[in-house]
Amino acid sequence: MTNAISLLIVDDEESVRDSLYNWFIEDGFTVKCAENAKEALTMLESENFDIILADIKMPGMDGLEMHRRIKTLSPEAIVIIMTAFASVETAVQALKDGAYDYITKPFDPDDLSHLIRNAATQIEQKAEAENFKNKETNLENIEDIVGNSQSMMQVLKEVENVSQSNSSVIITGESGTGKELIARAIHSNSSRKFFPLVTVHCGALSEDLLESELFGHEKGAFTGAMFNRKGRFEIADGGTIFLDEIATISGKMQIELLRVLETKKFVRVGGNKEIKSDFRVICATNRDLKKMVEQGTFREDLYYRLNVVNINIPPLRERPGDISLLVNYFIKKYCTNMSRDLISIEPAAMKRLEQYDFPGNVRELENMIERAIVVGNGKEIRLKDLPMKTNAPVDSSESLSELEKKHILQTLNKFDWNISRSAKVLKVDRVTLYNKIKKYDLKNPNGK
Amino acid sequence: MSKQRILFISFGQFGSDFLEKVAAAVKSEFGVPVGFDINYGVLTHFYDPSRRQYNANELIKFIHEKYGNNGAKTIGLFQVDLFIPILTFVIGQAVYKGNAGIVSLYRLKNELYGMKKDENLLFERFCKEIIHELGHTFGLTHCTSPVCVMRSSTYIEDVDEKNARFCASCKKQLDQALHEEPS
Ligand SMILES: [Zn+2]
Ligand SMILES: [Zn+2]
């Protein structure tokens, strides 16, 4: 989970120490164990721990007394009390004395991980606050988001800003632009990162399934069921729910969704207990939701609740400068996946890719590269390994002026609308270029 | 002895084509030879009647003692409900940087949650858990990438959120471990 966190387990039962030791080592913590209160207190005199997980009932010293002494030796440490069901009252007393929380043996794995994730979040936030001045803008888990064009830099900047907040986000963009990657990046860089990111592909669910999917169901609701099924909103507790293709949900679900977003409460199918969940919502769509609101097919109240922040991912044809980076990234990715040596790409093939307008965006490019590696000669990607047949982007249905318009726009985007550089490449003077921009009503996607 | 770097020991009824499919999936993710074997023994002395579950710690110990010296990462595959004393249940468990682990199919079945039986989904979940536990035996810890197979997952709902693959940084760490450990 995170390397920096140190943890001390205090329990007189060897099997408990071993099990917990193993659990936390796998989480990436630095873990030490003590058999009794005395040993733990001796360790605390010379060592600091971020989290102390201690049984309240051990021979040798009263648990509450031990807790008080731990608090004096390590006032900063987060102390979690472990208790058998019979001694819950003592644990409650420990809470009053400043323990962080308590947990009853045997633990439900989910309770334990929730507790520890909460503690880890708190420790990390504290560390971040202390290092605030020299905090670098270092986004995690974004290696799949490739591009150094101005427009992608802007997207990453928005990701960074929004990940620190709890606001609802709508990610818009044509299909294949990588909206899910952006959702992942927001989650992974938020304080919710230790908790789940739950993805719901709204378009893939039928309405009768959607309810049980989102809200879960009690085991009694179906014959033969031995366990409850948690719904997506419940799993997302502490984390983020990502609703992909939000525009596809029915009117009935829009009402349900709005209610859950407002109350953060719901009931499982077949149940009557109200369940609370603390989640953040990120949605994605390739449709124009605003227009759907105007047409009356998407609820306005829901739209405003979801659309607090909007991040728009530019289509690939508007950032052709990123194509070569993406090509090299996908070559590396697929050669590694297929356990092959890295291959190169022939300049003519790269050029052809840079001229293509990718209606299917990054996903289309990715599929092309994967296919080219499979069908190719194992050394380099050649022009003939690509699905486009000819060397020039000619579409016979396009008029000459349409082609000119497209070519000028691509060139401008490639150089981030630097007029001098674009004019030079297009072999026209700047005035001519300005006139063409006017003639074709070309717009800078970054709005300058 | 065997050159297998990964070995599966099945306890209880698994179809042989099911196990072969699992072995193939694991082999393609780790890129090392994978073998499997069957244990016909009975599990009665691992059963805890008060919890009506099987003791995962004891089973791992057993696997380590019986198969641990052949040098392969050995994963016991089970159909029964597993627990460790401190937790109400576990789906799988492994010795961190060790040679033994176990995974059970039991809690991965849709039917137990009142949902339609789904063999493909079951296979996928089982592979994810096996690859995850193997990752621990190769020294990988839990990963915060939401889709990485090393993401910690205590319930099937969490298992379904992640992929059966390592993320780039876990893959790198794994490849290093595979190189370091002699076969
Ligand atoms: Zn794990
Ligand atoms: Zn990972």
**Cβ–Cβ under 8 Å, residues A110 and A228:** no
What is the token pair recorded at A215? 């809200």
Looking up tokens 């199919």 gives B105
Give the nearest partner residue to B144 out of A13, A193, A229, using CB atoms: A193
Give the chain A residue whose CA is nearest to the CA of B57. A19
CA atoms within 13 A on the CB side of B75: 32
Q: How far apart are CA A334 and CA A385, in angstroms?
A: 15
Q: How far is B36 from chain A (nearest CA, A)?
A: 24
Per-residue model confidence (pLDDT) at position A1: 45
With a pLDDT cut of 70, the percent of chain A lying above it is 94
Q: Tell me the fold of A6-129.
A: Rossmann fold (3.40.50)
Total tally of structural domains belonging to chain B: 1
Residue numbers in A near B167 (CB within 8 A): 141
Give the residue numbers spanning the domain of B60: 5-179
Residue numbers in B near A275 (CB within 8 A): none
- Asked if CATH classification 3.40.50.2000 holds for the domain at A140-312, the reply, yes or no, is no
Specify the range with the lowest mean pLDDT, choosing from A87-101, A271-285, A370-384: A87-101
Please compute the mean of the pLDDT values over residues A304-333 and round it to a whole number. 94
Q: How far apart are CA A287 and CA B141, in angstroms?
A: 40
A3: pLDDT strictly greater than 60? no
Q: Note the CATH architecture for domain A317-385.
A: Orthogonal Bundle (1.10)
Q: How confident is the model at residue A395 (pLDDT cuts 50, 70, 90)?
A: very low
Longest pairwise C-alpha distance within chain B: 46
Q: Tens of pLDDT along A336-363?
A: 877 788 999 999 999 999 999 999 999 9
Residue numbers in A near B142 (CB within 8 A): 1, 26-28
What is the token pair recorded at A174? 């044509």
Q: Tens of pLDDT along A40-62?
A: 999 999 999 999 999 988 888 87
Per-residue model confidence (pLDDT) at position B36: 87
Strand order in the sheet with B6-11: B34-39, B6-11, B73-78, B100-104, B92-94
* Contact call for A336 and B89, based on CB within 8 A: no
Residue predicted with more confidence, A1 or A153: A153
The counts of H helices and E strands in chain B are 5, 9
Angle between helices A361-375 and A323-337 (to 10 degrees): 50
Best residue of B51, B136, B138, B142 to probe chain A, by most A CBs closer than 10 Å: B142
| Per-residue confidence in pLDDT tens, chain B, 183 aa | 446 799 999 998 888 889 999 999 999 899 899 998 999 888 999 999 999 999 999 999 999 999 888 889 999 999 999 999 889 999 999 999 999 999 999 999 999 988 889 999 999 999 999 999 999 999 999 998 888 999 988 888 889 989 999 998 899 999 999 987 654
A76: pLDDT strictly greater than 70? yes
Q: Alpha carbon of B149 to those of A116, B5, B125, B130, B132: distances in Å? A: 20, 20, 10, 10, 6
Q: Alpha carbon of A393 to those of A73, A290, A407, A422, A423: distances in Å? A: 72, 34, 9, 19, 20
Q: How far apart are CA A433 and CA A430, in angstroms?
A: 5
A148: pLDDT strictly greater than 70? yes
**Cβ–Cβ under 8 Å, residues A362 and A316:** yes
Q: Note the CATH architecture for domain A400-439.
A: Orthogonal Bundle (1.10)
**Cβ–Cβ under 8 Å, residues A10 and A37:** yes
Per-residue model confidence (pLDDT) at position A393: 47
A233: pLDDT strictly greater than 90? yes
Best residue of A227, A242, A269, A333 to probe chain B, by most B CBs closer than 10 Å: A227
Give the nearest partner residue to B141 out of A15, A28, A336, using CB atoms: A28
CATH number at residue B173: 3.40.390.10
Q: How far apart are CA A81 and CA A10, in angstroms?
A: 10
A428: pLDDT strictly greater than 80? no
Q: How far apart are CA A110 and CA A155, in angstroms?
A: 34
Distance linking the first and last C-alpha atoms of chain B: 10
* Contact call for A219 and B83, based on CB within 8 A: no
Please compute the mean of the pLDDT values over residues A80-104 and round it to a whole number. 82
Q: What is the 3-state secondary structure (H, E, C) of chain A?
A: CCCCCEEEEECCCHHHHHHHHHHHHHCCCEEEEECCHHHHHHHHHHCCCCEEEEECEECCEEHHHHHHHHHHHCCCCEEEEEECHHHHHHHHHHHHCCCCEEEECCECHHHHHHHHHHHHHHHHHHHHHHCHHHCCCCCCCCCCCCCCCHHHHHHHHHHHHHHCCCCCEEEECCCCCCHHHHHHHHHHCCCCCCCCEEEEEHHHCCHHHHHHHHHEECHHHCCCCCCCEECHHHHCCCCEEEEECHHHCCHHHHHHHHHHHHHCEEECECCCCEEECCCEEEEEECCCHHHHHHHCCCCHHHHHHHCCEEEECCCHHHCHHHHHHHHHHHHHHHHHHCCCCCCEECHHHHHHHHHCCCCCHHHHHHHHHHHHHHHCCCCEECHHHCCCCCCCCCCCCCCHHHHHHHHHHHHHHHCCCCHHHHHHHHCCCHHHHHHHHHHHCCCCCCCC
Q: Alpha carbon of A346 to those of A351, A355, A358, A383, A394: distances in Å? A: 9, 15, 19, 7, 21
**Cβ–Cβ under 8 Å, residues B94 and B137:** yes
Specify the range with the lowest mean pLDDT, choosing from A384-398, A427-441, B33-47: A384-398
Question: Long-range pairs for B46-49 at CB < 8 Å and ≥24 separation?
Answer: B48/B83
Q: How far is B165 from chain A (nearest CA, A)?
A: 10
Domain boundaries, chain A: 6-129, 140-312, 317-385, 400-439
**Cβ–Cβ under 8 Å, residues A233 and A266:** yes
Q: Tens of pLDDT along A125-138?
A: 888 777 654 555 57
Judge whether A6-129 and A317-385 match in fold: no
A15: pLDDT strictly greater than 90? no
Total-model pTM: 0.79
Partners of A274 in the β-ladder: A267
**Cβ–Cβ under 8 Å, residues A141 and A280:** no
Please compute the mean of the pLDDT values over residues A188-215 and round it to a whole number. 87
